[in-house]
Structures are given as structure tokens and as C-alpha cells.
A and B are shown apart, each in its own frame.
Chain A
């Protein structure tokens, strides 16, 4: 079955770090652009960042709100995408989703179930 599964969420203090993982199954993650999208409690969707596919060198882009604190990487052997989050703020509290972008069809069809990050003292 083609799916995405996030993990690594939890409770962390302000200023702390956390690494989220997104595992793809049923397809090769490196063939696709992959996005991180988050949703704060009771709030709308916010794009966090992306990792382009292998053909585009796995280059990354990040939202201005996280650019100096978050980084995105991959582990091809494990079909994994990561979001390293440092210097976490209370406003980073959210459900974090990984999303696959299908370049050929120009669509974001596949979403993970999300993982909850709570930043609290």
C-alpha cells in the first residue's frame, strides 16, 4: 500500500530540539518532491518546507518562519524524510504532516497522518 507515516512527535521545552521522520512505503521517496506542512491547534495549514527529488539534487526550501531553525534531509536507504527542528518555540506547536508532490501530475495527493509536536515548559 502506498502511504506515508510520520513519527517523532512529542513534548519538548522551548529552546529544545526534535527530529521528525516520515517513512514512505509502496513507492520510492527519492523520486518525489516531499513537503512538510503543519497545523497549529485550531489553526489553518502552513507550509514548512520541501525537499526536491533526486533529479533536482534533493535541494531544500524552508518557510521564513523556520528557516534558521529547521532543516530537511533524507535517508534514501530507509526511504525516509526528516525534519530537524531546533530552537523550538511555543508557536511551533502543531501537527506536522509530510506530503508527497507528484511532479508529473502536479498534485499533492498523498499525505501522512501527521505527528503532534507540543512545545511547552
Chain B
């Protein structure tokens, strides 16, 4: 089974900051990686799929990159609405594997 290591587990940044969250898979998953945003009491929402494809309706300040084993989610200019927990998901094969999550606080 593929293991996914997500880092950092939490971070605090200021409005307008650029921030990056990373996920590392234990073996190559090509581009089969997605990123989700989850706010308290809500279901996760898809941000990025196939490593770098921005889901329709998601602000362009979000971007994803990477392939193989190393991936990143970047928020180019942090907004107050971006306070949330972010998860990556490796989905090349079953079992699907989520990263442990990154809690983002906007100062």
C-alpha cells in the first residue's frame, strides 16, 4: 500500500503570504494526486485533481504541482477565507490514501 506524508501538520501565515504544503508518496503515483480543503463541520471540497488541474470555481491563487512522489499545493496570496484544513489524496490504486492534513491559520 502507498503511504502519504503531508507536511507541515499546521502553519500560521499572514494575509497575502505565499504558502506551500507538500505531500510525499512512498512510491510513484504519477499524477494521481488531489488536494481538498475542509472547513469545520463541512465536507471536503476538491481544489486540485491530477496533481495540477484546478477544479472549476476554485480561485486561481490555488495551484498544484509535482509528479511521481513529490507534490505541492501553493496558495499564492493567502486570504482570510483560506483558513481550513487541507488534505492530499493519492488515488492511483486502491486503497486510496489521504495525507494527514495541514491546518492553516490566517493571522
**A64–B1 CA distance with the chains assembled, in angstroms:** 10
Main secondary structure of the interface of A (DSSP, over half): strand
Interface residues on B, range: 20 to 34
A112 contacts B43, C-beta separation under 8 Å? yes
What's the tally of chain A residues with a CB closer than 8 Å to chain B?
19
**A61–B43 CA distance with the chains assembled, in angstroms:** 22
- B23-65 interface code vs A (CB 8 A; 1 in, 0 out): 0000000001010101000011110011001010000000000
**A105–B32 CA distance with the chains assembled, in angstroms:** 12
Can you list 21 A-B pairs with a CB-CB distance of less than 8 A?
A44-B87, A44-B100, A45-B38, A45-B44, A45-B101, A47-B96, A47-B97, A50-B96, A63-B95, A97-B44, A105-B49, A106-B49, A107-B46, A107-B50, A107-B53, A108-B36, A108-B46, A108-B89, A108-B91, A111-B43, A111-B45
